[in-house]
Amino acid sequence: MFPHLSPAFLAYIAPAQERSQIWRTILGLALVFALFLLTTLSLGIGTAFLGEYIQPGLGQNLMREVEEGRTIFATVASLALIATMIPALWLVLRFLHKRSLHTLLGPTGNINWRLWRGAASIILALAAIDATTTFFAAELIQQMPLARWLTWLVPALILLFLQTTAEELVFRGYLQQQLAARFKSRWIWWLLPSVLFGLAHFNPTLFGGNAWIVVAITTLTGLILADVTARFGSLSPAMGLHFANNLVVMLFMNSPGQLSGMSFYLYDIDLQSPQLKTAMLISLASMLFGYGIFMLIMRRRRL
């Protein structure tokens, strides 16, 4: 799992070559997150004021609900907010780099749905096997009736696609492209975006002593996603892997906490207990296995 500057990857990073100065990349990344935070703050204040106008105390309750992330409303709001990084990135690319958002997807400027489906289907197949054993071995709590869960399924899938796409566009698209166009060393364009991706998931309030374990495992996941992006010269397989992984975690079986409001089942687990380390290592092993199978299938198909 050591990617290199292959012809496919060189074609992928070509649009970033002209304006790959490091100051542009740093400024661009800072602007994306500044715009994201500004949007989050504006919507948060607006929601709070509107809630208080409708009913005293409602605004504070809504803000607390989103912060805890344990309800459908909170999960929808969080996923939608992450998706706002897409227009922020569009603005940065348009005015700072003079190129299109589509250049982050690959040389064709479009999603390669064959690669996307191939990556996603393998993760989902492994998740189905894992879910079967987990259903009988672990203590699961049904969070909501099936009818209610199905009502929210289509909006959830759309939001999940936007959320995972936004994260891939920022970390494996923009950041990896910009760094690879500037530096030849894989330890910069492969490792650095993955470390930043891991650090973005640092939450000691939620995970306690497990916070750095979460960062480490998320970083390793980022390395896998960055690797498939480099090998195929396309963001599509990373998007598929990321979507399928989050689909299983957020919509089917999740641990109680942030972004758990739309999950059908919840694990009976304390996020600050040693049990979480085991659960996350199993999840990582499943991702690694799926990654290996995907690479093997694609190699046999000469893709």
Residue type, 260: S
Residue 303 reports pLDDT greater than 60: no
- Average pLDDT on 233-237 reads 96
Query: Which sign does the torsion angle of CA 289, 290, 291, 292 carry?
Result: positive
Predicted pLDDT of residue 136: 54
| Residue scoring higher pLDDT (10 or 127) | 10
| pLDDT tens for each residue of 164-213 | 999 999 999 999 999 999 999 999 999 999 999 999 999 888 888 888 98
Pairing of strands 140-142, 265-267: antiparallel
Q: What angle do CA 145, 149, 151 make, to 5 degrees?
A: 120
Q: For the chain, which residues make up each domain, given as ranges?
A: 7-18+102-300
User: Judging by beta carbons within 10 Å of its beta carbon (0-12, 13-18, 19+), is residue 178 exposed, middle or buried?
Assistant: buried
Q: Is 250 within 8 Å of 262 (Cβ atoms)?
A: yes
Predicted pLDDT of residue 264: 92
Most confidently modeled range among 96-100, 272-276, 280-284, 292-296: 96-100
Reported in sequence order, the residue ranges of 83-147 that DSSP labels E, i.e. its strands, are 140-142
| Residue scoring higher pLDDT (282 or 153) | 153
Q: What φ, ψ does residue 274 adopt, rounded to 5°?
A: -60, -20
Q: Is 232 within 8 Å of 8 (Cβ atoms)?
A: yes
| pLDDT tens for each residue of 62-83 | 777 777 678 888 899 899 999 9
> CB count, 10 Å around CB of 56?
9
| pLDDT tens for each residue of 115-132 | 999 999 988 887 777 666
Total-model pTM: 0.90
Predicted pLDDT of residue 133: 59
Residue 266, strand partner residues:
141, 254
Q: What is the CB-side half-sphere exposure of residue 290 using CA atoms within 13 A?
A: 29
- Average pLDDT on 240-247 reads 93
